[in-house]
A and B are shown apart, each in its own frame.
Chain A
Amino acid sequence: MGRVLLVFRLAMKDIRHRPVLAALLLVAIAAGTATLTLGLALRGTANNPYTRARAATSGPDVVATDFNGDPQAPAQVGDLVPFEQAPGVVAHSGPFPVSWTSLKTRRTRATAVVEGRTSTSSAVDQPKLTQGTWVRPGGVVVEAGFADALGLHVGDRLSLGGSSFEVTGIAVTAAFPSYPESLDSFLVGRLGSYSLGLVWVPEADVAPLAAVGSEPVFYYMDLRLADPAAAQAFAAHYTTGSSSQQTTGPSAQSNANAPKTALTLYPWQHIRSEDAQILARAQLVLFTGSWLLALMALASVAVLVGGRMADQTRRVGLLKAVGGTPRFVALVLLCEHGLVGLCAAGVGLLAGWLAAPLIAGPGLLGAPNAPSLTLPSVGLVVALALGVTIAATFVPAIRAARQSTVAALDGSARAPRRRSRVVRLSAHLPVPLLLGVRLAVRRPWRLLLSVCSVAVMASGLVAVLVVETAAGGVSPGPRVTQAIALISVMLVILAAIDAVFIAWSSALDTRHAAALARALGATPQQLTAGLSTALALPALFGALLGIPGGILIYEAPKHSGSTAVPSALSLAVMVVVTVLVIAALTAVPIAMSARRSVAEVLESETS
């Protein structure tokens, strides 16, 4: 027990002694654990918000519309009327007039689907107000997801088709998938836009708004069935025999009573499935992001641990000098980083759990239930944090513990390996590169970590570029966009931390060689330029590896389909900016180290 306590106390003392390094380690691991927690928390909640919204809004079992997008065979509102009496239908609402028009706010523009409603409530599909009041003359209600994306609040004004309206309320519905899941599929792709949001307007305003853009007015009818579970069969039944109609919806019915019309029917299961796409996409982004961040965390932790080890050589020597066995020393080092890993798991769990409702979005009726973090999920997150930490710490800890006590007390860095070919080839390089390459290749694993770190970051950025290219400029929705942005920023920050620490570690254990080179006539500028260029070369390699990596990340979940490759220019800009930024970041610690007095370094160290 006493030994365990001693290990713990020594570990805690060193964490307190180097709080900045410990904090950076924590951030690196917590970035991965938070994202994984978020993904796990949202798993299985995809259907939950729609089910709640459906219950709260008396959601329809089937939505029938006369809109089929076919100007040659237009449907008529009258075609919907027979559904009121169709077998299995126990209640209905509508038909409600629907069209689309341009929407402007002070900050943005969009296309809105406008659905006409009266002030009276309907038996089926009663949109649930989350804020404000229902539609009234001059006042409209905006679907919650759409309002969130546009930043609209009750009392704001917006323009529909050039006419000004006040936002009187924000509401959710189960008759349409929530924004940003597109209403376009409900409009059979005729608008060519995936960013349609729903606005309820006074019924009398639909026709004038449609007339502004010479758009058609069509109708929706909400049906409640005696057996909601039979909604798909109901839609399929009425689809049977519709051989001549060009509908792209899931079901088109040719009613026996109206055989020449083209109607489209949507069972509630289809709407739920469309609605769940929001969370499914967010989950995919978060899961992919969490694994990328976990990989990045692994590289970051390895870099940080390497830096700490280089800084702790003398401490290891002292521990061994006072009787610590190599095993004891390794335990202290592992315990130290394990503690930080455990804290990072806790921070990640809390951050992910708190962020889950934000990602789920307000378009659904409230947030999903408090994310259900099961014991296995918590275990997975803790295992990831500890796994990353132990994997990155184990080898350096064992190596440090086995180091000669005398050498460790001297604080001398591990002897570098000889690279004959590099030495021979570098003789032909300009002096700064000669120095930089020779100094950098002394630690090939560090260069490999640099490649990995930049490759993971670049893969993430390229995946974002691929998403943008594939979406053709259409937003995947604010929450997914935020998740992507958050993960991208974290990847960039971690890569920047890695770059600085790789440079710092390199400067630390090449200080003797660098001082000697200066004693022989190299300038600090030559050393800084040479070493930062030599460290930027792996960054170039990593950035180039990130191109296929990013495309693979995007393509992996798909099993077919074409590949959306970002433009050569955007990829080139990504690579060049990455290399320049890494070179600039690495130059800072190297330049600071190169300013130390040569005499001081050479006097304090022996070869």
Chain B
Amino acid sequence: MHDQELGSVVLRARGLRKDYGKGEGLVRAVADVDLQVARGEAVAVRGPSGCGKSTLLHLLGGLDRPTAGELWVNGRRIDQLSERALAQLRRHEVGFVFQAFHLMDELTAQENVELPALLAGRSPREARRRAQQLLEQVGLADRADHLPSALSGGQRQRVAIARALANEPAVMFADEPTGNLDGAGTLEVLRLFESLHENGLTLVVVTHNERIAASADRQVSMRDGAFVGTTIVADGRENRPGPDRVEG
């Protein structure tokens, strides 16, 4: 890979592996995955349940540590970082959206969105301003003072997306963001993702949803922990079998 190309790569994994258990009980959740994601690119990871998609996402976002392999985020190798450094990474470089929303029940929508900014050391006023701006962006300015229990599924997920954007991450990871939503909720989230992508946000989305996958620049398929195929959507839906290799 040329230096010029490296400069535009936000996320890069080489030989990424995650094992659980030992000996005969060993389960390889992620098997030697190679991946690179360019700035502004949207990648959809697809595959059957239990194939290791979520585990891969946790590894890429620094929520979990790989058993082997190398991982770079924004040009910085993260697979050997300390827990404290990984926390810093999660605070500033990446944003997460979970299938189950994972909002704090006792905090309002705005307080949930403010939280990452406060954790990043922003002043309460600045965090509030940023949260208001993000809630407006996701179309929930009028629901800012509502608790999650008073919001629909789609609205909760939009709050979660706003929260993931609070610290302007280099890449956003979304794990089945429409998995818990009805049709209307799915549509709300889908439009939001399309809008974020159009605005140049780098996205890695684990999804079963055809429309989200179709809106991505690239789709990668997983089975038994490994990449088994890549579809370049933006380049005339070219099908390219085999793992997504990093060119050396």
A residues touching B (Cβ–Cβ < 8 Å)?
415-419, 423, 427-428, 431, 434-435, 442, 512-513, 516-526, 597-600, 602-603, 606-607
Contacts and interface: CB of A to CB of B under 8 A. Distances in A.
Across the A-B interface, the 7 shortest Cβ-Cβ residue pairs? A521-B91, A599-B58, A427-B124, A523-B87, A606-B100, A418-B106, A599-B64
A159 B83 CA distance: 67
A518 B87 CA distance: 7
Contacts of B193: none
B186 to A, nearest CB: 18
Interface of A, helix, strand, loop or mixed by DSSP: helix
B73 interface: no
Contact of A524 (B83, B116, B163): B83
A416 B92 CA distance: 28
A516 B83 contact: no
Contact of B98 (A518, A521, A523, A602): A602
B73 to A, nearest CB: 14
Contacts of B55: 599
Interface stretch (B6-14, B107-115, B237-245): B107-115
Nearest to A430: B121
Contact of A521 (B103, B116, B148): B116
Contacts, number: 85
Contacts of B118: 427, 431, 434
Given A517-B119, A521-B88, A522-B119, 6 more contacts: A419-B106, A517-B115, A521-B167, A598-B58, A599-B58, A602-B100
B114 A427 contact: yes
A519 B111 contact: no
Nearest to A422: B106
B210 interface: no
A523 B85 CA distance: 9
B196 interface: no
A460 B189 CA distance: 59
Contacts of B102: 512, 516, 519, 602, 607
B163 A520 contact: yes
B104 interface: yes
B128 to A, nearest CB: 8
Given A524-B83, A606-B100, A416 B119 contact: no
B90 interface: yes
9 contacts: A415-B106, A418-B106, A423-B106, A427-B118, A435-B119, A516-B102, A517-B115, A600-B64, A607-B103
Nearest to A598: B63
B175 to A, nearest CB: 9
B147 interface: yes
B107 A520 contact: no
A519 B91 contact: no
Contacts of B246: none
Nearest to A427: B124
B96 A519 contact: yes
B127 interface: yes
A7 B103 CA distance: 38
A521 B87 contact: yes
Interface string B104-143: 1111000100111011110010010000000000000000
Nearest to A418: B106
In this complex, which of A442, A517, A599 has the most chain B Cβ atoms within 10 angstroms of its Cβ? A599
B98 A520 contact: no
